[in-house]
Copies of this chain bind each other. A is one copy, B any other.
Amino acid sequence: MEFQAKDIAALLGGTVEGDPEATVSNVSKIEEGKPGTLAFLANPKYEHYIYTTGATIVLVNEDFKPLRPCPCTLVRVKSAYDAIATLLQMYESMKPKPVGIEQPSYVSESATLGENPYVGAFAYVGRDARIGNNVKIYPQAYVGDGVTVGDGTVIYAGVKVYAGCVIGKNCILHSGAVIGADGFGFVPEGDYYKKIPQIGNVVLEDNVEIGANTCVDRATMGATRICEGVKLDNLIQIAHNVVIGRNTVIAAQSGVAGTAKVGENCVFGGQVGIIGHLEIGDGTQIAAQSGITNNVAKGSVLRGSPAFDLPYYQKCYVVFRKLPELYSQLRDLQKEVKDLKAK
C-alpha cells in the first residue's frame, strides 16, 4: 500500500512541509532511510541524519527547527515518537493473523475454545481450560488444566502456563515465558530442605505483556498478581505472592522476591533486584542494577545496591571515584598535624 504525505498528515493531525504528494510504501530508520520510505526523528541525538537521509518523508516534532535544508518532505506532528507508534500499529493491524487449528495439536475434550481461535501445531490445551475469543495460541505452547485465557490474548510459541492460572484479555506472552511454576519455598529440616507445596496461582490482568523467558511463579496460597497494563521485559523473575501494580514497567533481567508489593506506574531499569516482603510505593523509579532492601516511599527515585536517593547516590559515587586521592590527602594532613603538634 502507498501513502502520500498529505494523507499521513491528515491521519496524524499534522502539517506537511515539502511535497504533499511525496509517496511512501514502507518505514525505515532515519539513519538507514531509503527512497519510498517514511522515517521519524524524535531523539535529538539522531538529528544530524535528517540532513542526509534517503527517506522520502520524515515525521518530526512540531517544534523541530532544522539547522539546514532537509532532503525530504517533513510531516510535523505533536510527538513524532507517538505518531510513529500509531502508524506502526496501523501497519501491524493490517497484517494477516494466523487462524484455525493446525494438526497435530492437543485440545482436551473438556476445554472450550472461543470464536476465531488459532491453535498452532503441537500446542497443548489442558482439561477444563477456558479460552476466549480471538485468542492466538502458537505452536508448542502449553496451557495447563483449568487455565482461563481472556479475549484477544496472544500466546507465542513455547509459552508454558501451569494449571489453574488466569490470563486476562489482550495480553501478550512471549516465547519461553513460564507462568505459574512453583514458588521457591522450603522449610529447613536439619540440613535438609522440605518443600512447601505452592497451591496458589498466578493472575495476569488485562493488557499485560510478558517478555521472552520471563518467569512469574505461582503463589504459596492465594495469587501472584500482575495488574492491568503491566509490561515486563525479558528474563525477569517475579517470585511467589508478589503483586505488581497497574501500568508498572520493568526492564530485562530484574527480579522481585517473594511477597513484595510493587506499586502502580513504577519504572525499573534492567537487572534491578527487590528483596522479599517489601512495599514499593507508586511511581517509584529505580536505576538499572540497583538493589532495594527497604520499603520505598511513593515517588522515590533510587540508585545503588543497597539503593538510596539517586541524585545523592551520584554525589557519593563522585567521591568514591576520588577515594585514592582523598586517602593520600588524609595521610598528608595527618603528617602536617603531627608536625604542627611537635612544634
Interface residues of A (CB under 8 A from B): 27-29, 32, 43, 45, 79, 81-82, 84-85, 88-89, 91-92, 102, 104, 106, 120-122, 124, 138-140, 142, 144, 156-158, 160, 162, 172, 174-176, 178, 181-182, 184-187, 189, 191-197, 199, 207, 209, 211-213, 215, 217, 220-222, 229, 231, 233-235, 237, 239, 241, 246-247, 249, 251-253, 255, 257, 264-265, 270-271, 273, 275, 277, 288-289, 291, 305-306, 308, 312, 315-324, 326-327, 329-330, 333-334, 336-337, 340-341
Q: How far is the CA of A319 from the CA of B176 in the complex (A)?
A: 43
With beta carbons under 8 angstroms apart, the residue of B178, B191, B207 that contacts A176 is B178
Q: How far is the CA of A16 from the CA of B85 in the complex (A)?
A: 62
> How many copies of the shown chain assemble into the complex?
3
A158/B142 in contact, CB under 8 A: yes
Q: How far is the CA of A208 from the CA of B289 in the complex (A)?
A: 28
With beta carbons under 8 angstroms apart, the residue of B195, B237, B340 that contacts A253 is B237
Q: How far is the CA of A195 from the CA of B88 in the complex (A)?
A: 9
Contacts A144-B157, A221-B29, A330-B329 given; does A195 touch B181 at CB 8 Å? no
What would be 27 A-B contacts, judged by CB atoms less than 8 Å apart?
Answer: A28-B221, A29-B221, A79-B187, A82-B187, A85-B196, A88-B197, A89-B195, A91-B199, A106-B121, A106-B122, A122-B122, A140-B142, A160-B175, A176-B178, A176-B215, A182-B209, A184-B252, A192-B207, A235-B235, A255-B271, A275-B288, A312-B324, A316-B323, A320-B323, A329-B334, A336-B337, A337-B340
Across-interface contacts of A320 in B (CB, < 8 A)? 316, 320, 323
With beta carbons under 8 angstroms apart, the residue of B124, B220, B333 that contacts A122 is B124
Across-interface contacts of A246 in B (CB, < 8 A)? 191
B288/A184 in contact, CB under 8 A: no
